[in-house]
Amino acid sequence: MIDYQRSAPGSWSIDLHPSTPHRVTQAIDVATHGFSTFVVTPTRVDTVGMVTDAATLHSLCTYAGLLRAQGNRLALSGPGLWAALGNEKGDGPIIGAGLSATRTIRAWVQSLDLAPFITADSALDNGAGFTWTSDRVMTYREALESIIDSFWTELFIDPRDMLIKDTGVEWTHVPSQVYGPYPLLTPWYDGREVGESIQLVAATFDVRTDLDEWVSDVSFTDATTTATTGGTIDYSYAGGTAVDVTRYVSDTSTPGGYGTSAASQILDTYNEETQSVVASTDDMDLLSYIVPGSVILAYDPENGIYDSSAWVERLIRGQMMRAMFLTVQSMRVPITAQNGVYVVTWDGAADVIVDLSEHFIPETGAATIELGRTRHRAIRTQARRDGARRQ
């Protein structure tokens, strides 16, 4: 099972058949080979005649992680690639306190001494530079998270090409590009017809509305001052007393004077109700074109998942749709019999690909995708109040 999130290690696990030869389990022994790379491909590939090096295998994969544990030889598990930059315990390659410079987001990511197989995407924001300071000793992952929180970008590792990418660049849409290459998840249609420009994926949606993350005000302390900003959506308890839920955030790595702006950005996310959306699908090819951090389209008007903006309207299979852009937050996907499964070890001189495709126990069930709880609050209760109907 693959369970992974944007900007977090996540986890994966598989079980091997009891009949797996000892030579195979020894070839991936954790104590001997250390942190090997676990790779999943959409289908099995020929690692003898066609794919003989790790770089080619990575270019074909839909997921990659680190092999970190081996139970009774047959139970394999580990975290995702983010763990190479900082694991769940906060351990990893570190940078010292006091680092301060003015760089673009791309230059900041490139300045970190990333793992050899993780690099910065050339499409990362390379516009105006900003000043960021490491006010304490931190791992590379913590540094990237601080950049994400302080300057409102959204970085994620795409395990298909090992690149650190930015979700934010996906949101500069114009009408002619609105459906672009993004897959459309909907309970209405499945599969792509000849001439259809987008991938249609049959999915069911579970939508939950709550105020669990709602805040009334944000108080933000930057490098020099504290600024408090109030939201525009207010609630009252029974009897009329105003609900006061103030979130205090202290990040002294944020340059002085940015506190008000940072507080406003946080309010843009949390000063409203949250509608968390979970999609379920049996389409296991989904891993080939989305990962946590990707932008997708969703359309299920009966559950309030649609965009009322006229410019997103498009005719698909005779149905006028106004699909909604959402960001993939996390995914939980079974590793099925159709997948190829490999472990890439280092023998001291070169990479060695160990094929486990014939030895792992396949899983069944649907893939689940969390689409809610994103700063791009596309889903609001207003859509439901408008009376969503099949148009």
Averaged pLDDT score across all residues of the chain: 81
Looking at per-residue confidence, does 237 or 194 come out higher?
237
Q: Torsion over CA of 312, 313, 315 and 320, rounded to 10 degrees?
A: 140
Higher per-residue pLDDT: 184 or 279:
279
CA dist 95 to 8, 86, 218, 274, Å?
19, 11, 29, 35
pLDDT digit string, tens, across residues 236-258: 999 999 999 999 998 877 788 88
Q: What is the pLDDT of residue 71?
A: 93
Which of 126 and 65 is assigned the larger pLDDT? 65
Average pLDDT over residues 131-144: 84
Can you give the pLDDT at residue 389? Answer: 25
Residue range 150-169, pLDDT digits in tens: 665 677 888 777 788 876 54
User: Residue 67: pLDDT above 90?
Assistant: yes
Per-residue pLDDT at 153: 65
17, amino acid identity: H
pLDDT the model gives residue 384 = 28
Ranking 119-128, 174-183, 289-298 by mean pLDDT, the lowest is: 174-183
Query: Residue 383: its pLDDT value, please?
Result: 30
CA distance 184 to 257: 41
Of residues 244 and 315, the one with the higher pLDDT is 244
Cβ pair 252, 269 in contact under 8 A: no
Mean pLDDT to the nearest integer, 255-265: 85
Average pLDDT over residues 108-123: 83
> Nearest-CA neighbor of 11 among 295, 335, 290?
335
Question: Which residue shows structure tokens 């769940």?
Answer: 88
Task: Inform me whether the pLDDT recorded for 173 exceeds 50.
Answer: no
Band of the pLDDT at 390, cuts 50, 70, 90? very low
Distance CA 148, CA 126 (A): 15
Three-state DSSP class for residue 264:
helix
Sheet hosting strand 69-71, strand order edge to edge: 69-71, 75-78, 11-15, 2-5, 330-333, 367-370, 274-281, 204-210
Q: Where residue 387 falls among pLDDT bands split at 50, 70, 90?
A: very low
pLDDT at 65 over 80: yes
Residue 190 scores a pLDDT above 90: no
pLDDT digits (tens, 9 = 90+) for 6-53: 778 889 999 999 999 999 999 999 999 989 999 999 889 887 777 888
Asked whether the predicted pLDDT for residue 172 surpasses 80, the reply is: no
Instruction: Give the strand order in the sheet containing 36-41.
Output: 63-67, 36-41, 340-346, 351-355
41 backbone φψ class: left, alpha, beta (φ>0; ψ -120 to 50)? beta
pLDDT of residue 120: 87
pLDDT tens digits, one per residue of 287-313: 777 888 787 888 898 888 887 765 667
Q: Can you name the residues that pair with 100 across neighbouring β-strands?
A: 133
Q: Could you tell me where the DSSP H helices lie in 91-233?
A: 105-111, 140-151
Q: Please measure the distance between the N-terminal and C-terminal CA atoms of the chain and give it in whole angstroms.
A: 38
What is the pLDDT, as a whole number, of residue 191? 61
Contact assessment for residue 82 and residue 8, using Cβ atoms and an 8 Å cutoff = yes
CA distance 353 to 341: 10
pLDDT at 378 > cutoff 50? no
Residue 138 has pLDDT above 70, yes or no: yes
Half-sphere exposure for 331 (CA within 13 Å, toward CB): 29
Give the angle 315-321-322 at the CA atoms, nearest 5°: 125
> How many other β-carbons are positioned within 10 Å of the β-carbon of residue 319?
13
Q: What is the pLDDT of residue 293?
A: 79
Residues comprising the chain, all counted: 391
Q: What is the pLDDT of residue 165?
A: 83
Q: Where are the domains of the chain?
A: 2-87+334-363, 212-270
Q: What is the mean pLDDT of residues 221-243?
A: 92
